[in-house]
């Protein structure tokens, strides 16, 4: 497993490291500030102040909960693809479209050559790192997903667009590493939709991660995993962060048929429901994971980003994950 790699990077984590996927809900004061900014009632400086305040709130909350690997919570992002498109050269904002569920976003249009001009998330990573002594993940949207959720005008085909994006996103990864980031997550929720394009996603991930000194995670969700497993294990990352609970832990059956070979961030709570899963349910899910996967390979977190839940629900769901991990740590360490 990749414990050795983490140790080489100077990161020592307990059994079942607790993390979250990336996004947390925006507190009311930030929702209001974003609305006021959109109506030009406040300036950018005032909006950024609210974003910093909200980021600090989530860093403190994660520390109080006992999370091991923190995230900045993405208080400064709207949509996960549009945010990167807005900050890379080569994109124009498109019309509002609906994707899965109730997600509406301005589908970006690739109208020119894609260029990374300057760090995109780095200032937020540095700001958050200044607020905690815990390891902090860098979280970026992956090239395949940015390509898949954009209209492509400039490039001749999807693969070319995806690889061009990968080359530029690598620059953001390098900037994070240079500043001290050691755990970097590349979100690729779109990866399971077209299994025939998995080789393109793998090629792109190589461009993003090859030869770089970091522990890489990729988050995949909403998918027909049976179509991309076990081939997805060829993605050059150390850890797959997977939505497990929403699909009733179905993936474990696939892991029994073909051995799972990476670390996993095992989604222990469903983010699509208001219901807060109680301790026995969440603990049972972790026990089931342990029946199929080696304990040292398992990290725990919610299925997906928590931004669609309320602040209270998000905290309660994180608390369920923390409680289950701690309960099973205690049992396992006395084994």
Considering beta carbons, is residue 155 or 229 the nearer one to Zn ion? 229
Of 263 and 270, the one with the shorter C-beta distance to Zn ion is 270
Nearer to Zn ion, 139 or 328 (CB): 139
Token representation of residue 194? 């077209």
Q: How many CA atoms lie within 13 A of 256 on its CB side?
A: 10
Residue 21 Cβ, how far from Zn ion at the closest point, in Å?
6
Q: Considering the complex, what minimum distance in angstroms separates the CB of residue 98 from Zn ion?
A: 17
Helix intervals (H) in 221-300: 251-257, 279-292
The Cα–Cα gap between 304 and 331 comes to: 27
Q: How far is the CB of 20 from Zn ion (least distance, A)?
A: 11
Count of residues that bind Zn ion according to CB under 5 A: 3
DSSP of 163-181: HHHHHHHHHHHHHHHHTT-
Which lies closer to Zn ion via its Cβ, residue 121 or residue 145? 145
Site string for Zn ion, 162-201 (x = CB under 5 A): ---------------------------x------------
Coil, helix or strand at residue 322: helix
Choose which of 33, 200, 221, 282 interacts with Zn ion (CB under 5 A).
221
Answer left, alpha or beta for residue 178, where phi above 0 means left and psi between -120 and 50 means alpha.
alpha
Scanning 42-50, 125-133, 221-229, 281-289 for contacts with Zn ion by CB under 5 A, the matching segment is: 221-229
- H or E element that contains 90: strand 88-92
Burial 82-110 (b: 16+ CB within 10 A, else e): bbbbbebebbeebeeeebeeeeebbbbbb
Q: What is the contact mask toward Zn ion in residues 270 to 309, using x (rule: CB under 5 A)?
A: ----------------------------------x-----
β 183-187/215-220 pair status: parallel
Q: Give the nearer residue to Zn ion in terms of CB position, either 190 or 298.
A: 190
Q: Which is nearer to Zn ion, 198 or 221 (CB)?
A: 221
Write down the least CB distance from residue 122 to Zn ion, Å.
23
Summarize as ranges the residues that interact with Zn ion (CB under 5 A): 189, 221, 304
């Amino acid at each position: 497993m990749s414990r050795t790699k983490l140790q080489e990077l100077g990161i020592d984590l307990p059994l079942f490291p607790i993390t979250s996927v990336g996004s947390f809900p925006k507190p009311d004061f930030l929702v209001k500030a974003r609305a006021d900014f959109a109506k030009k009632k406040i300036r950018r400086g005032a909006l950024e102040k609210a974003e910093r305040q909200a980021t600090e709130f989530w860093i403190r909350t994660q520390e109080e909960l006992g999370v091991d690997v923190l995230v900045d919570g993405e208080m400064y992002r709207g949509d996960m693809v549009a945010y990167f498109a807005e900050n890379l050269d080569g994109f124009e904002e498109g019309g509002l479209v609906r994707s899965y569920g109730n997600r509406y976003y301005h589908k970006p249009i690739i109208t020119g050559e894609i260029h990374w001009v300057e760090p995109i998330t780095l200032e937020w990573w540095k700001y958050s790192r200044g607020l905690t002594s815990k390891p902090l993940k860098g979280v970026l949207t992956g090239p395949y997903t940015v390509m898949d959720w954009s209209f492509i005008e400039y490039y001749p085909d999807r693969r070319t667009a995806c690889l061009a994006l990968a080359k530029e996103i690598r620059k953001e990864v390098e900037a994070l590493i240079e500043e001290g980031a050691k755990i970097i997550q590349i979100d690729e929720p779109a990866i399971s939709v077209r299994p025939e394009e998995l080789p393109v996603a793998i090629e792109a991930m190589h461009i993003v991660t090859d030869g770089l000194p970091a522990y890489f995670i990729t988050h995949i969700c909403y998918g027909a995993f049976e179509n991309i497993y076990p081939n997805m294990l060829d993605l050059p990352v150390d850890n797959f962060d997977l939505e497990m609970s929403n699909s009733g832990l179905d993936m474990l059956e696939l892991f029994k048929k073909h051995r799972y070979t990476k670390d996993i961030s095992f989604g222990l709570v469903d983010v699509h429901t208001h219901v807060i899963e109680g301790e026995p349910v969440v603990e049972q899910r972790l026990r089931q994971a342990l029946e199929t996967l080696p304990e040292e390979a398992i990290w725990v977190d919610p299925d997906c980003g928590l931004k669609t839940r309320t602040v209270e629900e998000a905290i309660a769901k994180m608390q369920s994950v923390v409680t289950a991990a701690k309960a099973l740590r205690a049992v396992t360490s006395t084994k």
